[in-house]
Amino acid sequence: MSIPGKSAARAAGLPRLLLSLIVAAGCWQFSAAQASAEDVIRFGAPLPLTGPLAPEAVKQQQGYDLWAEQANKAGGISVGGKKYKVEIIYTDYQSNTPRAVQTTEQMITQDNVNFLFAPFGSGATKAVSSVSEKYKVPLIAPTASSAQVYDQGYKYLFGTFTPNDTLTTPLTEIIKAKAPEVKKVAILARNDLFPLAIAQEMEKSAKANGFEVVYFEKYAINTLDHSATLSQMKSLAPQWIFVTGYTNDLLLVRKQMVDQQIKAPVVTMIAGPAYPDFIEAAGQSAENLSSAAWWHPAEQYAGKDIFGSTSNFVKLFRDKYKSEPDYAQASAAVCGAIFQMAIERAGSLDRDKVRDELAKFDTVTFFGPVKFGSNGQINSLEPPVFQIQGAKPVVLSPQAIKQGEFRLGVN
Amino acid sequence: MLAVQVLINALLLGCLYGCIAIGFSLVWGVLNVINLIHGSFIVLGAYLAWAAYQWLSIPPWFALAIAAPLFFGLGYLLQQLVLNRVITAPVLVTLTLTFGLDLILNNVMIYYFKADYRKLTLSPPMGSVSILDVVVPVDRLLATASALALTGLLYLLLRRSRIGRAIVAVRLDRDAAVLMGVDVKSIYAIAFGLGAALAGCAGVLMSLIFPISPLTSATFLGKSFVVCVLGGLGSVSGALAGGLLLAFVEGFGSTLFGPSHAITLSFGLLIIFLIVRPQGLLGRKGFE
């Protein structure tokens, strides 16, 4: 027969022991977290690591990782004489914008990130910026260019892409100068925030320069076949075909243009041709396609950031990833480098002080001169216009880094 | 002339849609399994064709001969070892199981092939033929012909062979088929294997036309679903009819109302069919 008192005491003892173990483990974890929080600066990076935008996420992640690696190799970020290691906390928002907002809030409130990088593209950046603004966390966007992101009057949002018209205006001017016989323009845009915004800029720019826009249509995201659209476009005999979208869309459109024997003196695609994987996949059909982007490896800036010169960044990137960097990777890396300089200048991890340093930032980096306007968007860059010639992008403008002349005819 | 061009485009695309959907339709019709792994099988088939061409210089037409037995074996084993265990459970269980398997396969593909887009570019390219002002791309034409040949083979198999008749018998009345001595589990595995083989072959053909990435599997799966609902489940000719109908609606819809409305129109049509003719164009209502 058991003694009730004794077994009850034993029963009560077990949970107490468990409880004390949990408390002890919690305290240890807390102190460990405290210790690590003292030594590292945490950057939150929500990315669409899975889902349709995954290729873009990989590019951004490569840029952040390269910067973090370089910063840590140099001992970390120096704040008031003490070195802090860089730690990037990634979350996967599965190409789903509302989830990007959720995970960002979670990173601020639970993972205690010090600063934030924005998700991919203008749409998700705009959504996430409302959260960073609410918690007053400085946020730098590597891939948001649309004016709608920056016209919200936010104080903690900064971005390294110039407005969309800085891509379309120089392009239109080059075509006008080099191909005066080109008059009729057809525009086909992916019905998505950035591709549509840049197509609308193109339409404005074309009309302002005296071109006739004979076709302007949007195609839905996930469109598998463009043959009907292209047949219709062909019947209007445009001399300049301007298509916007991401790698998959543009590869599909280009293949089906060849299938339908659609030729034009000028064919421009944004944003695919800037990516090496597009040029490789499109093969011969990429020849003479024109495009514009925010950065190009041929640029030669002597920067004051951790990467130093553009050529050093390109070399480090090639060594690590065995491929050529494009503007998305460079922009992500420069966001880290900008944060590093702003934190070091502020001499503190105080978010407001770092924010103020970002607002008055005016420094040349490997990416180009970086200075943010009053709305937070960079206003110091002159994006390059380029054309694929001999399976390589050749810069046509700006004059300072020009590599070749514009060629007519896309077959 | 534009109308003729759009018509030809739609005809070619319709046959390809039929080819994408036919394996899905077979599995759904015979096993009552909504096979969510179908899209990933198509993409895997496309990668197989890409790798065979890139590394071994085997053209896609010959890759079909590799893909068919390979995917049949894969599908057969998957059904025998995994799906047959839950085949009598409610449809939601098999749906969840294939959803999970799809997640695994898709992520394995992302891991190994990365999410980058690749393209199988034939060298030299096959080009296009133009008759009057109508242009027909040769690779699309050949892919369409192969798709029709595959569909024809499946039709003959189901009509003429003992295994085919057994598949149809199981589809019509599972219990009666058991009483007649049909080994239902084995027939299920063969049907699933055939579905997988058709998906793999469709992938090989699609690699000629569409960029390849694990991320496109959902688009292929979505098209298969719409084609099956429009054409009718489990019937070979139904998949073809559904594919053609979808391509015509997309092609002419896009020309008349703009490309941004093509998908809206096709899903509008899907809803109308679900309400007015749930058995599809050529499907029969029930078998009891």
Give per-residue pLDDT as tens, A314-326.
999 999 998 889 8
Give percent helix, percent strand, percent coil of chain B, each to the nearest 5.
75, 5, 20
Per DSSP bridges, beta strands A139-141 and A157-159 are: parallel
Residue B30 has pLDDT above 60, yes or no: yes
Is 0.90 exceeded by the ipTM? no
Instruction: Give the span between the Cα atoms of A37 and B34, in whole angstroms.
Output: 49
- Lowest-pLDDT range of A55-69, A118-132, A309-323, B79-93: B79-93
Other CB atoms within a 10 A radius of the CB of residue A321 amount to 15
Residue B167 has pLDDT above 70, yes or no: yes
Which site among B260, B261, B263, B265 would you substitute to test the A interface, given the most A Cβ atoms closer than 10 Å to its Cβ? B260
pLDDT at position A19 is 47
Q: How confident is the model at residue A5 (pLDDT cuts 50, 70, 90)?
A: very low
Which positions ≥6 away from A248 have C-beta within 8 Å? B117, B211, B213, B215, B216
Instruction: Say if the Cβ atoms of A281 and B2 lie within 8 Å.
Output: no
How would you class A222 by CB atoms within 10 Å of its CB: exposed for 0-12, middle for 13-18, buried for 19 or more?
Answer: middle
Contact residues on chain A for B216, CB-CB shorter than 8 A: 248
pLDDT at position A200 is 93
pLDDT at position A16 is 52
Longest dimension (CA), chain A: 106
Q: Indicate the average pLDDT of chain A.
A: 87
* CA dihedral sign, ordered A341, A344, A350, A354: negative
The percentage of chain A sitting over the pLDDT mark of 90, rounded to a whole number, equals 61
Assign A240 to helix, strand or coil.
strand
Other CB atoms within a 10 A radius of the CB of residue B151 amount to 20
Answer yes or no: is B281 within a domain. no
Contact residues on chain B for A227, CB-CB shorter than 8 A: 9, 13, 251
Which positions ≥6 away from B150 have C-beta within 8 Å? B19, B22, B198, B201, B202
Instruction: Give the span between the Cα atoms of B111 and A47, in whole angstroms.
Output: 17
Q: Indicate the average pLDDT of chain B.
A: 88
pLDDT at position A14 is 44
The mean per-residue pLDDT over the stretch A246-272 comes to 89
Q: In sequence order, what DSSP letters do the residues of A97-134 get, joined into one string? A: HHHHHHHHHHHHHTS--SEEE--SHHHHHHHHHHHHHH
Structural tokens at position B104:
């695994």
> Rounded to whole angstroms, what are the CA distances from A264 to A258, A282, A289, A410?
11, 17, 10, 6
Between A223 and A66, where is the model more confident?
Answer: A66
Instruction: Say if the Cβ atoms of A50 and B13 lie within 8 Å.
Output: no
pLDDT at position A17 is 47
Q: Where residue B153 sits, what CATH number does that domain have? A: 1.10.3470
Assign A161 to helix, strand or coil.
coil
Quote the number of domains for chain B: 1
Answer yes or no: is B99 within a domain. yes
- Smallest CA–CA distance, residue B228 to chain A, in Å, is 17
Instruction: Say if the Cβ atoms of B259 and A251 lie within 8 Å.
Output: no
Terminal-residue alpha carbon distance, chain A: 96
Structural tokens at position A353:
């002080």
Structural domains of chain A, ranges and CATH numbers in brackets: 40-162+298-371 (3.40.50.2300), 165-293+385-401 (3.40.50.2300)
Q: Please, what is the Cα angle at B280 between B275 and B283, to 5 degrees?
A: 135
Question: What are the φ and ψ backbone dihedral angles of A117, each rounded to 5 degrees?
Answer: -100, 150
Half-sphere exposure of A75 (CA within 13 A, CB side): 5
Instruction: Give the span between the Cα atoms of A365 and A65, in whole angstroms.
Output: 18
Assign A85 to helix, strand or coil.
strand
pTM of the model: 0.77
The mean per-residue pLDDT over the stretch A237-254 comes to 91
Other CB atoms within a 10 A radius of the CB of residue A136 amount to 12
The percentage of chain B sitting over the pLDDT mark of 70, rounded to a whole number, equals 98
Say if residues B115 and B213 touch (Cβ distance below 8 Å): yes
Cβ burial B58-76 (10 Å sphere, 16+ → b, else e): bebeebbebbbebbbebbb
What are the tens digits of pLDDT across the range A33-87?
444 445 899 999 999 987 778 878 989 999 999 999 999 999 999 998 899 999 9
pLDDT at position A1 is 36
Terminal-residue alpha carbon distance, chain B: 48
pLDDT at position A271 is 84
Amino acid (one-letter) located at A182: V
Amino acid (one-letter) located at A260: Q
Answer yes or no: is B283 within a domain. no
- Smallest CA–CA distance, residue A392 to chain B, in Å, is 18
Answer yes or no: is B240 within a domain. yes
- Lowest-pLDDT range of A87-96, A102-111, B83-92: B83-92
Residue A244 has pLDDT above 90, yes or no: yes
Which residue in A has a C-alpha nearest to residue B109's C-alpha?
A50
User: Radius of gyration over alpha carbons of chain A, in Å?
Assistant: 25
Contact residues on chain B for A282, CB-CB shorter than 8 A: 119
pLDDT at position B236 is 82
Instruction: Give the span between the Cα atoms of A324 and A119, in whole angstroms.
Output: 22
From edge to edge, which strands make up the β-sheet containing A184-190? A212-219, A184-190, A240-244, A266-270, A290-292, A385-389, A392-397
Longest dimension (CA), chain B: 60
Instruction: Give the span between the Cα atoms of A397 and A384, in whole angstroms.
Output: 5
Which residue in B has a C-alpha nearest to residue A48's C-alpha?
B115
Token look-up 């935008």 returns: A53
Chain A, window 178-197: residues with a beta carbon less than 8 angstroms from a chain B beta carbon = 188, 191
Instruction: Give the span between the Cα atoms of A88 and A115, in whole angstroms.
Output: 10
Residue B57 has pLDDT above 70, yes or no: yes
Residue A25 has pLDDT above 90, yes or no: no
Domain span at B156: 2-276
Q: How confident is the model at residue B139 (pLDDT cuts 50, 70, 90)?
A: confident
Per DSSP bridges, beta strands A385-389 and A290-292 are: antiparallel
- Specify the DSSP element, H or E, that contains A311: helix A310-321
Instruction: Give the span between the Cα atoms of B217 and B24, in whole angstroms.
Output: 13
User: Radius of gyration over alpha carbons of chain B, in Å?
Assistant: 19
Answer yes or no: is B282 within a domain. no
pLDDT at position A27 is 44
Instruction: Say if the Cβ atoms of B252 and A228 lie within 8 Å.
Output: yes
Residue A7 has pLDDT above 50, yes or no: no
Answer yes or no: is B285 within a domain. no
Instruction: Give the span between the Cα atoms of A327 and A337, in whole angstroms.
Output: 15
Identify each DSSP E strand in chain B by its residue range. Answer: 128-131, 134-137
Give percent helix, percent strand, percent coil of chain A, each to the nearest 5.
50, 20, 30
- Lowest-pLDDT range of A37-51, A250-264, A283-297: A37-51
Residue B254 has pLDDT above 80, yes or no: yes
Instruction: Give the span between the Cα atoms of A103 and A131, in whole angstroms.
Output: 10
Residue A30 has pLDDT above 60, yes or no: no
pLDDT at position A233 is 92
Instruction: Say if the Cβ atoms of A228 and B9 lie within 8 Å.
Output: yes
Which among B9, B10, B215 has the least Cβ separation from residue A52? B215
> Rounded to whole angstroms, what are the CA distances from B284 to B28, B232, B233, B280?
14, 7, 8, 8
Instruction: Say if the Cβ atoms of A261 and B115 lie within 8 Å.
Output: no
Instruction: Give the span between the Cα atoms of B36 and B199, in whole angstroms.
Output: 12
Residue B67 has pLDDT above 80, yes or no: yes
Answer yes or no: is B288 within a domain. no
- Smallest CA–CA distance, residue B135 to chain A, in Å, is 6
How would you class B33 by CB atoms within 10 Å of its CB: exposed for 0-12, middle for 13-18, buried for 19 or more?
Answer: buried
The mean per-residue pLDDT over the stretch B245-269 comes to 88
Answer yes or no: is B255 within a domain. yes
Instruction: Give the span between the Cα atoms of B198 and B30, in whole angstroms.
Output: 15
Cβ burial B182-214 (10 Å sphere, 16+ → b, else e): bebeebbbbbbbbbbbbbbbbbbbbbbbbbbbb
DSSP state of A346: H
